[in-house]
Amino acid sequence: MNEYPSPNSEEYLALRPCLREPIAEIYEAQHLLGEAADAHLAGDGKKAVIAIKAADIPIIRDWVESLWGNKVKYPEKVHYLRIRDVFNLQPSLPKDKRVRSRQPSKQIAERLIKKFGWHCAYCGIGLINRTARRQLLQAYPEALRWGRTNDEKHVAFMAMDNEFDHIIPHSRGGNNDIVNLAPSCAPCNCGKENWTLEQLGLIDPRQKEIMTSDWDGLERLL
């Protein structure tokens, strides 16, 4: 039985908050990484290592790769994108016509996190402060795999990597003003690529109710 809606069906064209709903294992990994941070702060390195390794759940890689992976290796990616035609679409700009920097300033990044919390504005999974990740990597390099290729990286830290999405894509003239940015996990940000919200049928994250929780992005390590 085909689990994907057929193109042009009502379900296929319906507005949605994200490209693909998170799987339960991501929240399991988030809980484990919270335990790892607490153990590290308590001086229990052995417990921290066990929790970090346990959070490296293989099935999470399939979720990540289905959004940003190779379309041949992960053909289901085309179903999650659900691209539709949009009239009067802002064209892609030559690289020399785009805003030079793709990253927000430190001040704007902090304001965005304060507004949205440490959650992806699209799918809602927890995000991890990159400085906190580097601190854990330095303390537990064997448990927190972070190699050069995706296959060599800890899947939970890869899935929950904190990025900032340009609502109007950078390639289409989107700037780094706070009104054009939203915190995003790496899979949602990379999966969205240079498509617009209208092309993908995504609800504007700036119009959604802000998620609240006690997840701190592991900032307590800092």
Sequence-distant (6+) residues with CB within 8 A of 66 are 20, 74, 76, 77, 80
- The reported pTM is 0.93
CA atoms within 13 A on the CB side of 133: 19
pLDDT (tens, 9 = 90+) of the chain, 222 residues, equals 456 788 878 888 899 999 999 999 999 999 999 999 999 999 999 999 999 999 999 999 999 999 988 777 788 788 898 988 898 888 888 888 888 888 899 999 999 999 999 999 999 999 999 999 999 999 999 999 999 999 999 999 999 999 999 999 999 988 999 999 999 999 999 999 999 999 999 999 999 888 888 999 999 999
Contact by Cβ (8 Å): 68, 55: no
Alpha-carbon span 72 to 145, nearest angstrom? 26
Alpha-carbon span 220 to 26, nearest angstrom? 20
Alpha-carbon span 67 to 127, nearest angstrom? 17
Alpha-carbon span 62 to 172, nearest angstrom? 30
Partners of 184 in the β-ladder: 163
Task: Give 120: exposed, middle or buried? Use CB within 10 Å, 0-12, 13-18, 19+.
Answer: buried
Contact by Cβ (8 Å): 173, 79: no
- H helix or E strand, kind and range, residue 81: helix 77-81
Alpha-carbon span 171 to 191, nearest angstrom? 15
